[in-house]
Amino acid sequence: MSDAPAQPEATASIDSIPIFTEIDDPTFGQNWDWIGDDLFRREYQGLLRHDTLGVIVYGNADIFGLGTHDLVSHQAGLEGMEDTMYEYSTFTMRQPEHRAAKTLVARPVATVPVKKMAGLAAGIADAVINEVIDRGEIDLGADLVRPFIRRFWAEIFGATIDEISELQFYIEEILLAFQINPTEEGLARSAKASDGYIELATTVFERSIAAGDREIFTALMDDYEKMGDVGKPRNPATAFAVALLDAFNTAGALAANAIHMLVSSPEDHAAVRADRSLVSDAWLEASRLRPPVIATYRAPIQDIVHNGVVIPAETNLLFLWLFGNRDPEVFADPNKYILKRPNRGKQTNFGVGVYSCIGRHVAKMFGETIVHALTEPGVVVKPAGEVRYTIGSLVNEPVAMPVTVERFG
């Protein structure tokens, strides 16, 4: 007899479900409100399909149902991923290797160690703000958040500012492969940057491991020595480097989104200034409305049935995390910025289930630190022009976010 769990009754095939076409629009990512409203107004609600991307999962209930399904895992492989990145990325691993490998790289950036880093982050944020204050118009991401991230990780990793800047450049190039319709040139640049990133990050991390003076690497190596053979990487420094890709860019993009969305709502901005306990709410609401990573892939390891639809083994499942956050069945007035929202536990911006993002604690700490520092008495941030985001990509980051930062009082 088979040990496979019993499946619900199958009533439809993938070929019979509606097609999702909005993602083919070159301007996809420019207006999430419109796409979300259109998706959730339709008479049909459920899985969609795409000719090349696979099955599209967008509703909150479907995301949780499939995202926590015992038979849904990462894809067996990711097209365009270089050999070394493929070997070390937990995004290509399945159980039991995934659990062991993810535990190793997740523990140094879990809740408790990240809390210990918060004081350093606050001091760096204050220093960077003092450098841009009263300078006139600046770009919130390029002139404030990215320098903050560079200094923070340089201190944590024992790296130079130039080394962290180079890693940030490589990651920008790597993201060219995340275009919905990537070009051959973009894929080639992404592959070259992947090699550069891994080589530099591994060198920096191995240097600090040998020096033995960085707590984050001491914890990593202690856990590495205790690992069994399952999921144990050949090089822990490289494994940690690959796991931290988002720590250099998307975590910062979310921090920039958090403060810009807050100051764009004067009433909420005033509320956070008056009540510092609302800082976390401001970050959470921005992460709901504007997560930088809008989608990632997973796949069933064997045939499954979800809401009557048969999904064959190894079918690409594209989880649109962004729209799980905008499902009106879960979030009333989903396109509206509301500080105190119920159902925060239903947000999907960091994924769901055992494959959720390990960097969520770092992202939260970065965002709350920036929001707290820029809503202090005596500091005023004002929007100063149009915000532009990357479009046509599974990563939706601000490429222009003009603001002014001024002293007040």
Task: Note the pLDDT tens digit of each residue in 93-149.
Answer: 889 999 999 999 999 999 999 999 999 999 999 999 999 999 999 999 999 999 999
Total structural domains within the chain: 1
**For the domain that residue 18 is a member of, what is the CATH number?**
1.10.630.10
Q: What is the mean pLDDT of residues 162-172?
A: 97
The pLDDT mean for the chain works out to 94
pLDDT confidence of 233, banded at 50, 70, 90? very high
pLDDT confidence of 2, banded at 50, 70, 90? very low
Q: Please give the Cα distance from 129 to 145 (Å, whole number).
A: 9
Q: Please give the Cα distance from 68 to 45 (Å, whole number).
A: 20
The answer to the question of residue 1 being in a domain is: no
pLDDT confidence of 92, banded at 50, 70, 90? confident
Q: 96: cis peptide before it, omega within 30°? A: yes
Closest by Cα among 50, 99, 49 to 74? 99
What number of CA atoms fall less than 13 Å from residue 119's CA on the CB side? 3
How many CB atoms within 10 Å of residue 137? 12
Q: Residue 288: CB partners within 8 Å, gap ≥ 6?
A: 325, 326, 331, 341, 347, 349
Return the structure tokens found at 81.
């991923």
Q: Do 50 and 20 form a contact (C-beta atoms < 8 A)?
A: yes
Return the structure tokens found at 165.
């800047």
- Find the distance separating the first CA and the last CA of the chain, reported in whole Å: 76
Q: Which residues of 350-388 are buried (b: 16+ CB within 10 A; e: fewer)?
A: bbbeebbbbbbbbbbbbbbbbbbbbbeeebbbeebeebe
The answer to the question of residue 5 being in a domain is: no
pLDDT confidence of 78, banded at 50, 70, 90? low
Segment 278-293, tens digit of pLDDT: 999 999 999 999 999 9
Segment 56-67, tens digit of pLDDT: 999 999 999 999
pLDDT confidence of 1, banded at 50, 70, 90? very low
Q: Model pTM?
A: 0.94
Q: Please give the Cα distance from 134 to 129 (Å, whole number).
A: 10
The answer to the question of residue 259 being in a domain is: yes
Q: Give the single-character DSSP code of 332.
A: S
The answer to the question of residue 6 being in a domain is: no
Tell me what pLDDT residue 82 has. 58
The answer to the question of residue 2 being in a domain is: no
The answer to the question of residue 119 being in a domain is: yes
Q: Do 93 and 341 form a contact (C-beta atoms < 8 A)?
A: no
Closest by Cα among 372, 399, 376, 339 to 140? 399
> Structural domain of residue 61, as residue ranges?
12-407
Q: What is the mean pLDDT of residues 259-265?
A: 97
Q: Please give the Cα distance from 40 to 46 (Å, whole number).
A: 10
Give yes or no for residue 81 having a pLDDT over 60.
no
The answer to the question of residue 336 being in a domain is: yes
pLDDT confidence of 403, banded at 50, 70, 90? very high
The answer to the question of residue 375 being in a domain is: yes
Sign of the four-CA dihedral 130, 131, 136, 139: negative
Phi-psi bin for 268: left (phi > 0), alpha (psi -120 to 50), beta?
alpha
Q: What is the mean pLDDT of residues 255-262?
A: 97
